[in-house]
Amino acid sequence: MGKIFVVKTQVGQEENVANLFEKASKRTGKIYSILAPKELRGYIFVEGEDIETIKRIIRHMKYARDVLDKEVKVEEIEHFLFPPSAVANIEEGMIVELVSGPFKG
């Protein structure tokens, strides 16, 4: 298992940088996973062999800016891995519209 680091990107280019890391992972085999949450602008998470490998790879990337030196624990980014529940914000007494299923209408 590799180490997870935060890579700073140009805002709005997170997906492009993630795609470039994907290509680099196929070429080097030293990048294990990439996470680019939509809620976090200007940053992506990259799991790699070590920080030096990631720094070496971003030197050749157009929109990647820097790698934060601190390693990130999985527990810190876990909430980005699971989508929020559709019913999480529904409370008793609220009016809802059923759009499918046997109770539609």
Count of domains for the chain: 1
CATH number at residue 40: 3.30.70.940
Residue 69: domain span? 3-81
Residue 104 domain flag: no
Residue 88 domain flag: no
For the stretch 64-81, pLDDT in tens is 999 999 999 999 999 888
Q: Is the pLDDT of residue 1 over 80?
A: no
When pLDDT is averaged across residues 32-60 and rounded to a whole number, the result is: 93
Local confidence band at 32 (pLDDT 50, 70, 90 cut-offs): very high
Residue 48 domain flag: yes
Q: Render the chain in DSSP notation, one character per residue.
A: --EEEEEEE-TT-HHHHHHHHHHHHHHHS-EEEEE--TTSTTEEEEEES-HHHHHHHHTT-SSEEEE-SSPBPHHHHHHHHSPPPTTTT--TT------SSTT--
CA distance 73 to 105: 46
Tokens of 42: 């200007």
Residue 61 domain flag: yes
Residue 16 domain flag: yes
For the stretch 3-31, pLDDT in tens is 999 999 999 999 999 999 999 889 988 89
